[in-house]
Every structure is written in structure tokens, then in C-alpha cells.
Copies of this chain bind each other. A is one copy, B any other.
Amino acid sequence: MKKHQITIIDIARQLNISKSTVSRVLTGHPNVSEKTREAVLKLANELDYQRNMLAINLMSSQSHTIGIIVPEFVTSFFPMVIMGAQEVASQAGYNVLISQSNESYETEVANAKVMLDNRVDGVLVSLTRETRNYDHLKVFQRKGIPIVFFNRVCDDMQVPKVVVDDYEGAFKAVEHLILTGRKRIAHLGGPTSLHVSKKRLEGYKDALRKYNQPIDPGLILDYDLNLEKVKIYIKHLLDLPEPPDALFTINDPTAFEAMIFMKAKGLKIPEEIAVVGFSNNYGSTLIEPRLTTVAQPTHQIGQVAAQLLLDQINSDASEWKPIYRVLKTELLVRGSS
């Protein structure tokens, strides 16, 4: 069914030398005569020899692969993070095994098992919105496989984490709304199980406090990130006796949905209601008015997370530290506010 692939033994036999010598040439070991080196290299090239990583992996007990588990692929956020991580990883000679949990806890568990089976040398994780139990991830720690969280991190585990300053980002966003004269700022937040949701909510509240604005619980909604429900929440807000004059959402897709719905209702953005999102996703400059949002350094998140992971892979477990890297956000003020 499968063609025979050339091995170092084939090369050794044809040249009447031992496989050890061929291996030495191919791995660049110094102790080998110029004559045999050339002969091996020449024949390897002629035969189109390709080293077999399956054997090398088993021999070295390393897969030379890092795993990445992300909740979704639809918004541009995670693909961008993956791009950054992949850059750093392949630079260092590592492959990347990507899996999506589709925001499902069970899939995340299954994916973790696949990573374990495949003996990834380390794993990068961003949790699903459902994940409450972390046993499937603690296995990695127990087995001595480094793990790094990014974006949606796990407070329960003492491992490196890479996040953006969600608190400050939200704070700046809301402060901006206040300073431009908004009096009733609503917040459509994410599920409180997610660290990011909590932090952004805190930033929202503290900005209001700083400027002595009342915190109206009726203006704070937390939803499950299911975009189809956005309409319902917005309708609820607009139907309030005192509707909001500004909306700060947990992310950009949510803001898009909200804007589309509000525009359909005839509301003027930003005159009647200002909107600010979070992430600077693809699309935020396409919608009209262009969305004011808190930009996250997606690419950098991936790079930093991958680097932290590689650092752990290449050091003794005793030296591992639960580094907590907080990257800066940037408020991009555009037409929607």
C-alpha cells in the first residue's frame, strides 16, 4: 500500500559502510572523514533521502511538536495568535498541532487527550467559555509537560500565563466614553467564569467610580457569547425607561451585532448611542461607523506565549516559574464613539 521509503540503512548498504557512519554524516557529527561524508551526502541526495521524524521522535522521546488548544476559529483573534505562535515555534524547529474546542468542554477534554497521546512537548491553551473543571489540563503538569495559558486563563493552576491588560483596556474605553459626555454606559459582558470578563467588568466599574458616576446594575448584562442572543439583550436595554447612551461590549463581534441591530432600529451611532468593542477584530474598520475598540496585540500574544513555552521545554521542571505576562492594549478611537 505504501512505497518503500529510503532509510539510512539503504544508504549504508549501498556504500558498504555502517548505518552509524551514515547517521553521523547526516546529523553533522564532526568525526567522519571527508571522503565518506561526501559519498553519503551525494547518495542521500540522489536517492532523495528524507529523515524519518517518526523514528527520531521515538528515539528522542520528543515529538518536536507543541499543541495549541483554542476555543474557536471564526473570529480573527485566535488565528492571529496562532500565527504568532507558529512563527516562534517553527523558528525553533517545532511543529504545531492545532485543535479547536468549539467552545465545548468535552471537546477540550478530548483534544487534551490527543495531545497527550501524541506526546506534545508542551501545550498552549485558551479555555472554552464552559470550562470549570481543569483535571484534563492538570494531567500535563503531573506528567511534566509544560503548559502555558493565554487569553482565557485558568486561575487554578500555577503556570505561565499571557494576557492583555483587560482591566486597563476596559477602563480606558469607559473613561473615553465618560470624557466624551456619556451618562448612561451599558456593558454587555461575557460569562463571569472567564477571567477576561471579570477583569473587563472591573475596569468598567472602576472607571465609573473614578468619575463619580453611578453604577447601575440594570445596565450590566452578562451573556454567554452566543451572538444570536445579542439582539435580545440590546432590545432589553433600549426598552428601559432610561435607555443607555453608550454601550461597551465584551468583544467586537458582539458590538457588530449590536450596531447592526441598532442601525436597523433607526438609532444614530454615535449621536444617540456610542459603541465601543474589544479586540480590534477584522471587520471593525469595515462597519459604519468604524468601531472604536480596544486593540489587543494578537500576534504578540502568540509569540510571547510560544516563547514562554519553549523556555520551559528547554529547562528543568524545577526552574519553571508561573510567569504572568500582561501585554498592553491600545484604545483605537474611531467613528462609533
Contact = CB atoms under 8 A, between A and B. Distances in A.
Interface of A: 1-3, 5, 48, 50-55, 57-58, 61, 63, 73-76, 79-80, 82-83, 86, 90, 95-100, 113-114, 116-119, 139, 142-144, 256, 260, 282-283, 285-288, 316-317
Most chain-B Cβ atoms within 10 A of its Cβ — which of A119, A142, A256, A260? A119
Nearest to A63: B54
A58 B7 CA distance: 13
A50 B117 contact: yes
Contact of A118 (B53, B83, B98): B53
A50 B63 CA distance: 15
Given A51-B117, A76-B76, A316 B1 contact: yes
Contact of A54 (B2, B5, B57, B288): B57
Given A95-B97, A286-B286, A143 B57 contact: no
A98 B100 contact: no
Contacts of A113: 50
Nearest to A121: B2
A98 B76 CA distance: 16
A95 B114 contact: yes
Contacts of A54: 54, 57-58, 61, 63, 118-119
A54 B52 CA distance: 12
Contact of A288 (B58, B98, B118, B287): B287
Contacts of A76: 74, 76, 282
Contact of A2 (B61, B142, B286): B61
